[in-house]
């Protein structure tokens, strides 16, 4: 249950989590035959799977497999051209992205969207204000203490105290990823989509990032796109492997580990790198 890991990080200010049981029952995400076509290109085609509340889920696949396009369909950045997206039991297929944020969905991007000239603290403050801003709720919150308190709580949760006044431009690549993940925690998320957070990191930075992910409170489910098979399989409960826009296989890390088709795709990656 929720107590298993949530005590490893301080509770976040600025939102009640309600009862643990309520958050951990049911499905966080259901994809029903989701497709996204760009002209004649079937970037994703007929993808279906379910992520349970609090579950940690991996999406694997070589370059161009459709992983980021799938995230865009889930968040509403590029809605699906066919199929249905269900978030916490509610059909959100036609809802705009900010309505999905309001329901507890967050994401990080493959390319950093941090404000490089601003400090760690100011970037986190903007994330806090972003999810609480007028466009995301009917009532525009005052700019005062609650946002500041939530910002300081997030700095502590992300273990970024020592870097709070440092401009992003002066952070290492790993520290920037740590900051992006911390920003995704603003405003009581229930499901976070991480798009290749470990890309470009050193082996030591990767280990720290994975520790940060596995240390997240258990009521927060996540879906992680990760290129490295070993890393992905070490942090998730279940996996979907995509290839050329379609589902190749679903399974537990153990099942994926011994699947010959998966290994064939990863071995043949060089030839599949460009479409
Ligand atoms: N906005 C777009 N317009 C046209 N084609 C697109 C668009 N976005 C993605 N595609 C195409 O859809 C396919 C899937 O791309 P996507 O970025 O989802 O792959 P990916 O699995 O995330 O790859 P990578 O591992 O390189 O990040 C590719 O052929 C890509 O060129
Ligand atoms: Mg991608």
Q: 148, 168, 187: which is the final residue of a domain? A: 187
Give pLDDT, residue 264: 86
Q: Is the CB of 69 under 6 A from ligand 1?
A: yes
Q: Looking at the 3D structure of the chain, how many domains does it have?
A: 2
Tell me how far the alpha carbon of residue 36 lies from the centroid of ligand 2, in angstroms.
14
Give pLDDT, residue 272: 42
Tokens of 144: 């005062």
For the chain, residues with pLDDT lower than 70 are 1-24, 132-144, 267-275
Nearest 5°: phi and psi at 234? -85, -15
Q: Largest alpha-carbon pair distance within the chain?
A: 56
Question: For residue 128, what are the contacts with CB-CB under 8 A and spacing of at least 6?
Answer: 14, 147, 150, 151, 154, 186, 187
Alpha carbon nearest to ligand 1 atom 2, residue: 38
CATH number of the domain to which 37 belongs = 3.40.50.300
- Please check whether residues 70 and 176 belong to one and the same domain: no
pLDDT in tens, 80-100: 999 999 999 999 999 999 999
Q: Range of 69's domain?
A: 1-10+20-104+191-275
Alpha carbon nearest to ligand 1 atom 6, residue: 38
Alpha carbon nearest to ligand 1 atom 30, residue: 64
Q: Which of 66, 110, 247 gets mutated to test ligand 1 (max ligand atoms within 8 A of its CB)?
A: 66
In a domain, residue 94? The reply is yes
Give pLDDT, residue 108: 93
What ranges in 190-274 are assigned the alpha helix state H? 203-214, 229-235, 253-257, 260-267, 269-272
In a domain, residue 109? The reply is no
Tokens of 11: 């509770």
pTM of the model as a whole: 0.85
Give pLDDT, residue 147: 87
Give pLDDT, residue 101: 93
- Please check whether residues 164 and 241 belong to one and the same domain: no
Task: Pick left, alpha or beta for residue 231 (phi over 0 → left; psi -120 to 50 → alpha; otherwise beta).
Answer: alpha
- Please check whether residues 151 and 222 belong to one and the same domain: no
- Please check whether residues 208 and 259 belong to one and the same domain: yes
Q: Is the CB of 36 under 6 A from ligand 1?
A: no
The helix (run of H) or strand (run of E) holding residue 75 is helix 67-75
pLDDT in tens, 103-149: 999 999 988 889 999 999 999 999 998 876 544 444 455 556 788 99
In a domain, residue 15? The reply is no
- Please check whether residues 270 and 198 belong to one and the same domain: yes
């Amino acid at each position: 249950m929720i107590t298993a890991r949530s005590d490893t990080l301080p509770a976040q200010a600025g939102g009640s989590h309600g009862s643990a049981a309520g958050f951990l029952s049911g499905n966080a995400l259901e994809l029903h035959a989701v497709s996204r076509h760009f002209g004649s290109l079937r970037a994703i085609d007929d993808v279906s799977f379910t992520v349970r509340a609090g579950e940690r889920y991996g999406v694997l696949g070589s370059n161009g497999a459709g992983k980021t396009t799938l995230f865009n369909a889930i968040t509403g950045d590029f809605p699906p051209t066919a199929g249905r997206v269900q978030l916490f039991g509610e059909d959100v297929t036609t809802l705009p992205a900010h309505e999905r944020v309001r329901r507890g969905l967050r994401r990080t991007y493959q390319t950093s969207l941090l404000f490089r000239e601003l400090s760690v603290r100011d970037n986190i403050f903007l994330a806090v204000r972003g999810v609480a801003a007028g466009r995301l709720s009917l009532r525009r919150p005052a700019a005062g203490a609650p946002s500041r308190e939530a910002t300081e709580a997030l700095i502590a949760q992300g273990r970024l105290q020592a870097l709070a006044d440092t401009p992003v431009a002066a952070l290492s690549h790993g520290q920037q990823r740590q900051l992006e993940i911390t920003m995704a925690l603003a405003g009581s998320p229930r499901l976070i989509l991480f798009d290749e957070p470990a890309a470009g990191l050193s082996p030591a930075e990767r280990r720290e990032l994975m520790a940060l992910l596995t240390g997240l409170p258990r009521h927060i489910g996540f879906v992680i796109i990760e290129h490295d098979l070993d890393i992905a399989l070490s942090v998730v409960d279940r996996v979907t492997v995509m290839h050329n826009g379609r589902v190749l296989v679903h399974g537990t890390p153990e099942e994926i580990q011994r699947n010959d088709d998966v290994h064939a795709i990863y071995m043949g990656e060089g030839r599949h790198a460009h479409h």
